[in-house]
Amino acid sequence: MKPAPFAYVRAASLDQVFDLLARHGDEARVLAGGQSLIPSLNLRLSAPAVLIDINGLEELAGIAVQNGRVRIGALTRQRTIEDSHEIARHVPLLKMAMPYIAHPAVRNRGTIGGSIALADPAAELPACAVALGAQIELRGADGPRTVGATEFFRDLYETDLGPGEVVSAVLVPKPADGYRSAIGEFARRHGDYAMIGLVAHARVEGTALGDVRLVFFGVGAKPVQAHAAGAVLEGGEVGRASVQAAQDALAEDLEPTADLQAAGATKLHLARVLTDRVVGQLAREAR
Ligand SMILES: Cc1cc2nc3c(=O)[nH]c(=O)nc-3n(C[C@H](O)[C@H](O)[C@H](O)COP(=O)(O)OP(=O)(O)OC[C@H]3O[C@@H](n4cnc5c(N)ncnc54)[C@H](O)[C@@H]3O)c2cc1C
């Protein structure tokens, strides 16, 4: 199929973006990498009257390490993040996550801001943002504001992004020494969206873990932090018994419902398997 007709504007400045968003409201869509938006137009799942292309706005792209955090501009391509030495050094979780996102051709165009703004419940980057305690920077005609990733993702494809605003950057606090991350997922084919996935981020203290954050994706309307399972792993030595206790605690944290990929019970089973694998990766680092 072909998309419904639309007007196209290649924005020359953020002010022009805000002006167009104010004028066209719900009839306008921001175009970043186009890897989700263009298929949805072609399938006529969406038919905006105006596309506002932000790809020319250099100020929205790039990675900078400043004031104890890594600032990743919204327009930074997923491939750039994958190849960045700064990311590998300061937030290796983001580099680890990239091979799970689609294929190189998609990552060459897809942006971090597009993935965060879209808030697909099965996407890797929103879960990473929650696990890393990232802040999402938003810009509108009234200036910038930031919101914690946990609060930013509100519901199914629903975020804190207000009318007339764009995601301008993702701000990731540089993890202190000793923090480690791991990620795993099940997908039907490599590059597909996950049936279910898990991101883990924790402080490794000898053979124990502290400040444990386990964030699942593909099990609910938005990234789900497994607080009960994480609490079980706090402090004590990570081993067979504690991992099993964390797996049992998942019943408190997760209420996966059936989707096109799997039944809820299957997802809960896969969540247990992922907990074993992903926490196992962290534990190996703890040895
Ligand atoms: C075959 C295929 C497989 C894929 N597999 C995965 C996968 O496994 N995991 C995964 O996470 N993703 C996957 N994707 C999606 C891919 O990661 C997209 O790049 C991403 O979801 C959207 O980023 P984008 O820059 O392409 O955004 P676009 O498609 O341009 O935009 C997506 C939405 O976000 C809005 N938007 C974009 N940027 C901004 C901004 N800065 N501010 C406000 N709103 C904005 C747009 O208006 C639109 O509504 C896949 C895509 C394809 C085609």
Q: Which two three-digit tokens encode residue 119?
A: 């808030």
pLDDT at residue 51, rounded to an integer: 98
Where do we find the tokens 């932090």?
225
238 C-alpha to ligand 1 centroid (Å): 37
| Cβ of 11 below 6 Å from ligand 1 | no
Best residue for ligand 1 mutational test, from 14, 29, 30 (most atoms within 8 Å of Cβ): 30
Cα–Cα distance list, 96 to 47, 78, 100, 242 (Å): 35, 12, 8, 25
**Residue identifier of the C-alpha nearest atom 27 of ligand 1:** 114
Best residue for ligand 1 mutational test, from 36, 81, 96 (most atoms within 8 Å of Cβ): 36
193 C-alpha to ligand 1 centroid (Å): 12
pTM higher than 0.95, yes or no?
Answer: yes
Give all strands (DSSP E) within 149-253, no chain letters.
153-155, 158-159, 166-173, 179-186, 196-205, 208-217, 224-225
Q: How far apart are the first and last CA of the chain?
A: 54
**Residue identifier of the C-alpha nearest atom 14 of ligand 1:** 102
pLDDT at residue 260, rounded to an integer: 87
**Residue identifier of the C-alpha nearest atom 38 of ligand 1:** 114
Closest-lying ligand 1 atom to the alpha carbon of residue 110: 19
Digits of tens for pLDDT over the chain (287 positions)?
Answer: 789 999 999 999 999 999 999 999 999 999 999 999 999 999 999 999 999 999 999 999 999 999 899 999 999 999 999 999 999 999 999 999 999 999 999 999 999 999 999 999 999 999 999 999 999 999 999 999 999 999 999 999 999 999 999 999 999 999 999 999 999 999 999 889 999 999 999 999 888 999 999 999 999 999 999 999 999 999 888 899 999 999 999 999 999 988 888 999 999 999 999 999 999 998 776 55
Closest-lying ligand 1 atom to the alpha carbon of residue 37: 29
